[in-house]
Amino acid sequence: MRHIMISGLAAFGLASGAAAQRADQNAARAAEDAFGVSYANESIGLYDEEDVRGFSPIDAGNVRIEGLYIDQQADMSYRIVDSSIIRVGLTAIDYPFPAPTGIADFRLPDAPAEIVVSPRLNAGSFGDASVELDVRAPLVGETLSVAGGIGAYRDNEWFGGTPRVISGGVSARWRPAPDVEIIPFWSVDRFRS
């Protein structure tokens, strides 16, 4: 299947239907090896996107979206990232330009069969708090779908720092032909501290 990714703002609409949840997303079930996988709000494995054997695949420019190399100019908001897999050593051999730092391969949300609405509230240590709302919706069967979300985070640090983040993004999947998939996406993260 050929993939085309376009960074930019996409139109966002919702189809009618019953709302579902993403409760079946599980990092342990999604893991193919022990190197690292992040799925929804869970992570498992030895490495992550920022640390493979003491190096960062992101800082080294070894980032892929669904297997395709990108020249990443800014961090992608996790409002549009469905999962990520770390490929190291022989697990990266099928990728163009494998790298000793490993490869961080991101996956964007796939087309759901029905509308999926996922709210999340979180409260943590030192007064941390966050609220997220993600929506995925089919617009035209499996031909066209959209996914997007917003999030607000307050991370009170133990040393007195008070970073606040507003995060948002939207992506779409359009399959105009059986072997063609076009995935425009846009995301933003705003930090204040």
pLDDT tens per residue, range 69-127: 888 888 888 888 888 888 776 566 666 666 667 788 888 988 788 999 999 999 887 78
Q: 3-17, 81-95, 167-181: which has the minimum mean pLDDT?
A: 3-17
For the whole model, what pTM was predicted? 0.69
Neighbours of 72 (CB within 10 A): 16
Neighbours of 145 (CB within 10 A): 22
Q: Check pLDDT > 90 for residue 174.
A: yes
Q: Where exactly are the structural domains of the chain?
A: 2-18+110-192, 27-107
Q: Check pLDDT > 50 for residue 1.
A: no
Q: Check pLDDT > 50 for residue 128.
A: yes
Q: List all residues 6 or more positions away from 5 whose beta carbon is below 8 Å from its beta carbon.
A: 65, 66, 68, 70, 182, 183, 184, 185
What whole-number distance in Å separates Cα of residue 18 and Cα of residue 56?
Answer: 41
Q: Please report the pLDDT score of residue 58 as a whole number.
A: 75
pLDDT tens per residue, range 38-83: 666 666 666 777 667 677 777 777 888 888 888 888 888 888 888 8
SS3 percent helix, strand, coil of the chain, rounded to 5, is: 5, 45, 50
